[in-house]
Amino acid sequence: MRFLTLFSCLLFIALFAEAQGSGGAEQKHLIYFTDKNDSPYTLEKPALYLSAKAIDRRNKQGIALSVRDLPVNPSYVSGLKATGAKVFYTSRWFNAAVVQCSPEKLAELQTLAYVKGTQQLNRIPTSNKKATQSKDSLTLTKTSFDPSYFGPSFHQSDMLGIPELHAAGYQGESMTIAVFDAGFPGVNSINAFSHLFQNGQLKGTYDFVGNKKDVYGHSQHGTSVLSTMAAYEPGRIVGTAPKANYYLFRTEDAATEHNIEEVNWLLAAEFADSAGVDVINSSLGYTLFDAPSYSYTYSELNGNTTIITRAADLAAATGMLVVTSAGNEGNKAWRYISAPADADSVLTVGAVDSLAVHALFSSVGPTADQRLKPDVVAMGQQVYVLSSSGNLGRSSGTSFSGPIMAGMVACIWQARPALTNMELLELMRQLGSHYKNPNNTIGYGIPTFTRLVTGMADELAPGISITNPVAEESILLRMDENWQKEHALAQLYDVSGKLVHTQLLPANQAVHTLRIRPSRLKKGIYLCQVSSNSRNATLRFVRL
């Protein structure tokens, strides 16, 4: 399959399973190389290490290839292996390799001319006591299902205007989302995910912890996260981007907490880049690690220090939009966001409850260098999710507000494909309920599709405009001289596709008053289709 071929080309996967630290003295290390000189890979032939979709994403956003995009020199990798060191992965962006070796072997590697430096990545259990970590609570409940399309999951989507977004034709088609998590048990058997397999929307999987393709085991956290975006079981649960394409990557080992998981994240991000992914969702955050791994202090959450934060910014530099959860430390001693939520080029998502009030567990900002975080918020308290057995329940955590937002981001990007990832990030802030008065608790607030629609009419239909938004005044259609040459027909539709009004529009008239009282229209988004013999237009407006 192309997935395995591309993967092996880029990352030089070793042909053995990941060891957990045999011999006691062996540890994992990141070996940094000095350069990429004399490599068989060149910037002139990117198809050898990037997919066509990845190249196209860069071209659309005007992002030039750089030496950072080149794979590491394979002769350097061969040199490491020749010493007897176990090589697991290589990183293009860090120009490094993950190896496992003894202290004696590490000393030998450090003498190689092309080795610049090393960093320890412990992975051997040394204690049953774990460092403090952010956790999401999951409570499965028996639910009386709402007969409507979204079922019980309606409110968490409606808060962002997702029903209107879907009704307007944006459900994530043609967009690709990579999900980084701790496992996805049940995804290959749960009915709500069957469309991903039937429609070819699941583009690939890989377990970076266990060096294997199968991700359908371990923690159910990833299954629940995925359900908020990708699930499609009308009347029970519908995610925010059910028609997007997905990659599922296991980067987190839920049983331990070590720096190697940051490197797993880096490697997954590089693969996502090479495969042409548009959006990365990361419901993971790191601050404290199990001994003897190196834990971070708040002062190091400055956007430039932690491995995973640097990796997230490098991912953004390729044109992907990284959506990351803020963390669940808001009511704990740490309080602040975790890494990579401190990265300056990612969309950091906090959590609110069903009443749009800040969830106490949601981590707050600012970053150590005083930048505002989180960027935006979505519902993260008592969110409807699926468990590994396919049961519907409620769970709380920024792990769920993040992917709910990531699905929205993919749909908005589908609607505005000309945007760069950084323009899209800024747009999400502008759509926020607190854009004019942001703070370090909820950032720019809750973004909604309604705010986007109020500015889209002229762009979608040149030469014709409609009153937007509509309160109690009349609904007016304004036409330029090209539209005025012919008779036209106006038809109003609600978000369900129901025709609510039809009206003939005489020629030679610059302004038409639609003969329907705004009070007859329920609050929400409407489509107005205008057609003549020579032209057609679809206008959107909001009834407040």
| Residue 528, domain CATH | 2.60.40.3080
What does the pLDDT read at residue 300? Answer: 94
Q: Which of 448, 472, 495 is the last residue of a domain?
A: 448
Residue type for 447, please? P
* pTM of the predicted protein model: 0.80
Burial of residue 486 (CB within 10 Å: 0-12, 13-18, 19+) is middle
Q: Is residue 165 part of a domain?
A: yes
Residues whose CB is less than 8 angstroms from the CB of residue 480 and which lie 6 or more positions away in sequence, other chains included: 463, 464, 510
Q: Alpha helix locations (H) across 191-324?
A: 194-198, 221-230, 260-275, 307-317
Token output for 326: 């803020």
The answer to the question of residue 279 being in a domain is yes
Q: What confidence score (pLDDT) does residue 90 get?
A: 95
Residues 232, 84 share a domain: no
Same domain for 410 and 382: yes
Q: How far apart are alpha carbons 483 and 467 in whole angstroms? A: 17
Per the domain annotation, does 241 fall within a domain?
yes
Would you state the structure tokens that stand for residue 225, as one six-digit string?
A: 């996260």
Q: What is the CATH number of the domain that holds 239?
A: 3.40.50.200
The answer to whether 474 and 409 have CB atoms below 8 angstroms apart is: no
DSSP string, 391-457: -EEEEESHHHHHHHHHHHHHHHHHH-TT--HHHHHHHHHHTSTTTTS-BTTTBT----HHHHHTTTH
Question: How many degrees, rounded to 5, is the angle at CA 107 between CA 102 and CA 108?
Answer: 95
Query: How far apart, in whole angstroms, are the C-alpha atoms of residue 193 and residue 88?
Result: 31
pLDDT recorded at residue 6: 34
Q: Specify the pLDDT at position 496.
A: 63
Distance from C-alpha of 21 to C-alpha of 62, rounded to nearest angstrom: 44
At 19 the pLDDT is 34
| Cα–Cα dist 114/215, whole Å | 35
pLDDT confidence of residue 517? 83
Are 467 and 504 within one domain?
Answer: yes
pLDDT along the chain (544 residues), means of 10: 32 33 68 94 95 95 95 96 94 95 92 93 51 42 52 93 86 96 96 97 96 93 97 95 98 83 95 97 89 86 95 97 97 95 97 95 96 97 96 96 98 91 93 92 92 55 80 87 91 78 92 88 82 80 81
Strand partners, 536: 531
CA distance readout (Å), 178 to 201, 345, 407, 420: 12, 17, 11, 18
Q: In terms of residue numbers, what domain contains 248?
A: 138-448
Walk across the sheet containing 321-325 and list its strands.
202-207, 245-250, 176-181, 279-282, 321-325, 347-352, 376-379
- Give a yes or no: residue 130 inside a domain: no
Q: Do 101 and 172 fall into the same domain?
A: no
Tokens 């202290």, residue located:
103
* Whether residue 474 sits in one domain with residue 379: no
Would you say residue 170 lies in a domain? yes
Q: What's at 71, amino acid-wise?
A: P
Residue 127 lies in a domain: no
| Domain final residue, candidates 391, 423, 448 | 448
> Which residues are CB-neighbours of 396 under 8 A, at least 6 positions away?
136, 137, 351, 359, 361, 380, 381, 382, 383
Tell me, yes or no, whether 444 and 462 share the same domain: no
Tokens of 451: 């705010």
Same-domain check for residues 348 and 479:
no
Phi-psi region of 37 (alpha: psi -120 to 50; beta: other; left: phi over 0): beta
At 101-126, the pLDDT tens digits run 998 999 999 999 999 999 988 765 44
Task: Mark whether 376 and 248 lie in a shared domain.
Answer: yes
281 & 322 share domain? yes
Closest CA to 202 of 238, 250, 248: 248
Check whether residue 410 and residue 292 sit in a common domain. Answer: yes
Total number of domains constituting the chain: 3
Query: 188 and 83 in one domain?
Result: no
The pLDDT score that the predictor gives to residue 269 is: 97
pLDDT digits (tens, 9 = 90+) for 47-70: 999 999 999 999 999 999 999 999
Same-domain status, 401 and 252: yes
pLDDT for position 141: 38
Among 448, 468, 497, residue at a domain's last position: 448
Give 507's DSSP letter.
S
Residue 132 lies in a domain: no
Residue 128: inside a domain:
no
